[in-house]
Amino acid sequence: MTTVNVRIDEKTKAEASEVLAGLGLDLSSAIKMFLRQVTTEQGIPFKPTRRSDKEIVAQWDREVEEALKNGKRYKNAEELFADLDND
């Protein structure tokens, strides 16, 4: 085993710890999970973006509106996620 030290502001640590506790995780376990996913995915396990949350939500809203307007439907969750991965 080895040790990793990470410096982060108190507010972010406290907020993240609270969210993770709600998921039954502590900060250390979540970081271990993240690093394991990095090795599994051979990269960052999410898409980094410089867009603001507001821009992302606006895009989601546009996509939902378009999908509803066009009557887009899915047979199951796998079909939905496959379509989302194509974006």
Nearest to 83, CA basis, from 66, 36, 21: 66
Tokens of 27: 């900060």
Tens-digit pLDDT profile for residues 23-81: 999 999 999 999 999 999 999 988 888 888 888 889 889 988 888 887 777 888 888 88
Q: Which residues contact 27 (CB under 8 A, 6 or more apart)?
A: 13, 16, 17, 20
What pLDDT, in 10s, does the model give residues 6-18? Answer: 999 999 999 999 9
Q: What's the CA gap between 15 and 29, in Å, rounded?
A: 16
Statement: the pTM of the whole predicted model exceeds 0.95: no
Neighbours of 29 (CB within 10 A): 12
The helix/strand/coil state of 4 is coil
Q: H or E element: which one contains 44?
A: none
**Whole-Å CA distances, 55 to 19, 61, 65:** 23, 10, 15
